[in-house]
Amino acid sequence: MITTYKNKHNHDYLSASGALPATLKNDLLFHYILQKSKHILKNLVCSLKGLAQEDVKDVIITNPIDYAEYTGKQIILDVRIILNNSEILDLELQMYHDSMWENRSLYYLCRAFDSIGSGDEYGELKPTTLIAIMDEDLFPEHHEFYSHFMILHTEKYYPYSTKLRINVLYLNRTELATETDKANKLDYWAKLFKSETWEELIALAKLDPIGEEVAEVMYEAVIQSQEKTIFEAHQRYLYSLHAAETGGYDKGFEAGRTEILVTQICKKLSRGLSIDRIAKELEEDPEHISKIYDIAQKYAPDYNPENVLKELNS
């Protein structure tokens, strides 16, 4: 499990250059950064909700990822948050075209809203907002930077309820940011998400302390952490989704999942685990991972995932 980020004012990222190994659009890395730094999480929530810092008494991620056991099977990577113990937020990055997004977003919203157990009072249901961060227009005829949706009367437009909401932040429409959006620093966050190189990220980090902390945590994640190969593999999977016009999702997902699986198997081999123990920890059938396991054995004691993957794909 990830601990709170403590390595503040680590300026190693200032010496980095070139393309980012993974960007903030990478939902796996995005989840990691928010999980690692409560300060970053709080600042992003304040921007998305239009809140002052003092309005946020507590903010908790209720679905943290254990990256040590991550295998790529966990394909639902939304960040579920409890704000001030009174409201639910569900943050979802949507960076590729999905014809089923409308249905999927409604499903995510209702799933998050269903937060009470059997026998609990309906009055205990918390207001719930799904916040989607997208890189393309959801409604091509309507251009906006930050959209807000709610269940309304179809003629008089008064709300049926204020407890269910969907907000959409369009990274491709930064130029349409309102003065309110800018005051909430949403345009700045959009630029952080769109950064593709260390040079872009460093320039933004110099403009705001929160950007500096994002750069610090991102550098640690993609350069220094044990999880860096997972983020890189997931980034290649995301690129494959954009590149493939037909069958891209299935092929891209499988390629990315295989790379993550190779990385995890190599890690566990370096700990001296048997194939049966590895299969049990990864919740995989031993037969399914046996080929990767056999190839990895050739590269002892380092068990370099890149070498294993290269031979696996040869």
Q: Has residue 118 been placed in a domain? A: yes
Q: Give the pLDDT band of residue 2 (cuts 50, 70, 90).
A: very low
| Strand (E) or helix (H) holding 147 | strand 146-150
Q: Has residue 235 been placed in a domain? A: no
| Number of Cα atoms under 13 Å in the Cβ half of residue 7 | 17
Name the residue with higher pLDDT: 283 or 181: 181
Query: Quick one: pLDDT at residue 247?
Result: 47
Whether residue 221 sits in one domain with residue 274: no
Q: Which residue has the tokens 């403590």?
A: 6
Whether residue 158 sits in one domain with residue 73: yes
Whether residue 264 sits in one domain with residue 165: no
Whether residue 256 sits in one domain with residue 132: no
Q: Return the percent helix, strand and coil in the chain, to nearest 5.
A: 50, 10, 35
- In angstroms, rounded to a whole number, what is the distance separating the alpha carbons of residues 301 and 38? 37
Tokens of 30: 């995005």
Lowest mean pLDDT across 30-34, 248-252, 262-266: 248-252
Domain membership of residue 208 as a residue range: 11-226
Positive or negative torsion for Cα 143, 146, 149, 155: negative
Could you tell me what percent of the chain has a pLDDT over 90?
63
- pTM for the complete prediction? 0.78
The residue among 44, 81, 64, 38 whose CA lies nearest residue 186 is: 44
Burial of 120 (0-12, 13-18, 19+ CB in 10 A): exposed
Which residues sit opposite 60 in a β-bridge? 82
Q: Has residue 139 been placed in a domain? A: yes
3-state secondary structure 193-211: HHCCEHHHHHHHHCCCHHH
Positive or negative torsion for Cα 236, 242, 246, 249: positive
Alpha-carbon dihedral angle through residues 243, 173, 215, 36, given to the nearest 10 degrees: -80
Query: Quick one: pLDDT at residue 252?
Result: 52
Tokens of 277: 């123990």
For range 135-160, the mean pLDDT: 95
Whether residue 80 sits in one domain with residue 35: yes
Q: Give the pLDDT band of residue 1 (cuts 50, 70, 90).
A: very low
Whether residue 291 has pLDDT greater than 50: yes
Whether residue 8 has pLDDT greater than 70: no
State the CB neighbour count (10 A cutoff) for residue 226.
10
Query: Quick one: pLDDT at residue 6?
Result: 52
Tokens of 153: 């009367």
Which residues sit opposite 93 in a β-bridge? 133
Tokens of 292: 């990767």
The residue among 84, 88, 61, 47 whose CA lies nearest residue 4 is: 61
Average pLDDT over the chain, rounded to whole? 88
Q: Has residue 282 been placed in a domain? A: yes
Name the residue with higher pLDDT: 62 or 264: 62
Whether residue 257 sits in one domain with residue 212: no
pLDDT tens digits, 53-106:
999 999 999 999 888 777 665 556 789 999 999 999 999 998 877 778 899 899
Q: Has residue 232 been placed in a domain? A: no
- Give phi and psi for 250, each to the nearest 5: -65, -45
Q: Give the pLDDT band of residue 232 (cuts 50, 70, 90).
A: confident
Give me the amino acid identity at 168. Answer: V
**From edge to edge, which strands make up the β-sheet containing 128-134?**
59-61, 79-83, 87-94, 128-134, 164-170, 146-150
Name the residue with higher pLDDT: 237 or 146: 146
Is the backbone of residue 67 left (phi > 0), alpha (psi -120 to 50) or beta? alpha
Using DSSP's 3-state secondary structure scheme, residue 93 falls into strand
Name the residue with higher pLDDT: 42 or 100: 42
Query: Quick one: pLDDT at residue 233?
Result: 82
Whether residue 277 sits in one domain with residue 205: no
Whether residue 271 sits in one domain with residue 136: no
For range 292-296, the mean pLDDT: 93
Q: How many domains does one find in the chain?
A: 2
Q: Which residue has the tokens 């009055």?
A: 123
Lowest mean pLDDT across 89-103, 124-138, 184-198: 89-103
Whether residue 248 sits in one domain with residue 141: no
Q: Has residue 117 been placed in a domain? A: yes
